[in-house]
Amino acid sequence: MNKFVKKVAVGFAVAASSVSAFAASSIDISAATTQATTDVQTAGGLIIGVVVVCASFSWIRRVIR
């Protein structure tokens, strides 16, 4: 049981130090998140556009036959 208590204490110390390290950093990622969201929306719109164009060409070819 003594080894278990030591492991828990060491784990708690590591977790506490990492939490304080995260709290000390003041990195603002909102601009990067906004930019990534815009990029994903643009890529998604382009993919949907390509799918719609391919489907419309397929339907037009069926009508012409």
Cα angle 44-28-22, degrees, rounded to a multiple of 5: 115
**Residue 57: pLDDT band by 50, 70, 90 thresholds?**
very high
Q: Where are the domains of the chain?
A: 2-25+34-64
| pTM, two decimal places | 0.50
Q: What residue type is 38 in one-letter code?
A: T
According to the model, what pLDDT value does residue 64 have? 86
C-alpha to C-alpha distances, 15 to 1, 33, 36, nearest whole angstrom: 21, 27, 30
Q: What digits encode the pLDDT tens for the residues 4-56?
A: 777 777 777 766 666 555 555 567 777 788 888 889 999 999 999 999 999 99
Report the chain's C-alpha Rg in angstroms.
Answer: 27
Say how many residues make up the chain. 65
